[in-house]
Amino acid sequence: MSEASSNPNSDQLNFRIRPWSSLLIRDYRLIFTTILCANTSNHMRNVASLYQVYQLSGSPLQLGLTGFFQALPFIFFGLFGGVLADTYNRKTLIAISHTLNIFPGLALALLTLTGTVQVWHVNILSVLAGALQVLGGPSRQAIIPSLIPQRLLLNAVTMSTLMMQGTQLTAPVIAGFLIEFYGVKASYFVDAGLLLPSVISVLLIHGSGQPQGEKRQIGWHSLIEGVEFLWHTKIILSLFILDFFAVLFGFYRPILPIFADTVFNVGARGLGMLYSAPAIGALIGSAILLTFGDVKRKGALSVIVTLLFALSLGFLGLAKVYWVGLIAVGLLGFNDAISVAMRRTVVQLLAPDDMRGRATSFLTVFAQTTNATGAVIAGASAAMIGPSNAALVGCVLCTLTVFATCWAIPQLWSYRSE
């Protein structure tokens, strides 16, 4: 591909959009590699941490609390990460945060190796790792539109979503294999090492990484600007609300170890497959989305896949056989991947460059806030009524919130991108 064709300032390309079009651009390939390595590391650590906590405590509530601690930093620091992404060089922020994030994995590995690890160790280091991820997360997403032509934005976002969901396929399998044959410590060592190529890749990007617009200072005014932008951009706000309430009652991942243990009676490798099945569905969903090139009715598609997500949660609650459970969580991943791609693309389309970091951070905070509270709700519900009944109740509540959101903000259903 010629240099002219790879210029991110060019709005038009000389070829039809294909599923791999964004990967033809060098800088996008590098940020793709950065996110790939970082996400694989993060998912391996999360799976290993949840597995280890359940082995140490045997408590569904402790499992839910660990999921809460993994998401807690996004609630407190998520918006701050967005302000940083709109203020400082995004490449530098990614490189520093990923370098520092090597140390929580190493600490967990050493604590496990010496036999001194306890549940509170896992929770504290999960908070630290999550806080560092917050600093780099908005920058990783906000930098993408400056590296590619706008015509390829949905393609690039979907490709990134496909990759991120793909890491949910490979990372749990790798973690499960390492835990089964070499112990939890091996998984921690590997996830720490994966962050090294992540740092190298982002430093090789030719793009400056500097946000456009006037130089701003970090403060409450920047956060208020972000809130005002979201409030006046009803389409983004409606997508955030839809995702918030749907995921609040449908966050199933923290209780998958309970399904593996008490419903399906499978071991660590079976648990790894349960965590990987959503990624298989996500790969299929993202691949289908890539073949379309672009989708104009992004709002309507978001509503439909969120409703299907709720119904898939009910399917999981009814599952009594392992392979049926795998299909159910695969469908959850299928619908979630399309929903995530739609939300991220709409945010990147409607937000100016000097607002993308904050808009992305709001998206992350909305998602992680529901993940954190949903983890506690899921753990408590599974402890009180069992994992299957908890999933069925979540299905009903998710379905009701989808219809309520569409009734309250009808603009979402009719939204079309240009």
Please state, rounded to an integer, the average pLDDT across all residues of the chain.
80
Three-state SS string over 311-363 comes to HHHHHHHHCCCHHHHHHHHHHHHHHHHHHHHHHHHHHHHHCCHHHHHHHHHHH
**What's the pLDDT score for residue 7?**
46
User: How many angstroms separate the most distant Cα atoms in the chain?
Assistant: 61
- Of 75-89, 176-190, 216-230, the least confident: 216-230
| pLDDT of 362 over the 80 cut | no
Q: What is the mean pLDDT of residues 64-82?
A: 73
Measured CA to CA in angstroms, residue 198 lies from 40, 67, 140, 192, 195 at distances of 10, 25, 11, 11, 5
Answer whether 331's CB lies under 8 Å from 399's CB.
no
- For the stretch 5-31, pLDDT in tens is 344 444 444 457 777 788 888 999 999
Confidence of residue 37 (pLDDT cuts 50, 70, 90): very high
Confidence of residue 216 (pLDDT cuts 50, 70, 90): low
Of 117, 133, 139, which is closest to residue 71 (Cα–Cα)?
133
User: Percent of the chain, pLDDT > 90?
Assistant: 9
How far apart are the C-alpha atoms of 93 and 84, rounded to whole Å?
8
| pLDDT of 4 over the 50 cut | no
How far apart are the C-alpha atoms of 246 and 76, rounded to whole Å?
21
Q: Could you tell me which residues come within 8 angstroms of residue 208 by beta carbon, excluding any fewer than 6 positions away?
A: 89, 91
**What's the pLDDT score for residue 10?**
42
Q: DSSP states of 113-161 as a string?
A: HTT---HHHHHHHHHHHHHHHHHHHHHHHHTGGGTS-GGGHHHHHHHHH
| pLDDT of 99 over the 80 cut | yes
Of 302, 301, 331, which is closest to residue 315 (Cα–Cα)?
331
- For the stretch 196-212, pLDDT in tens is 999 999 999 988 888 77
Q: 184-193 vs 195-203: helix axis angle to the nearest 10?
A: 10
How far apart are the C-alpha atoms of 50 and 251, rounded to whole Å?
15
pTM: 0.65
* Residue 260 DSSP code: I
- For the stretch 244-256, pLDDT in tens is 777 778 777 777 8
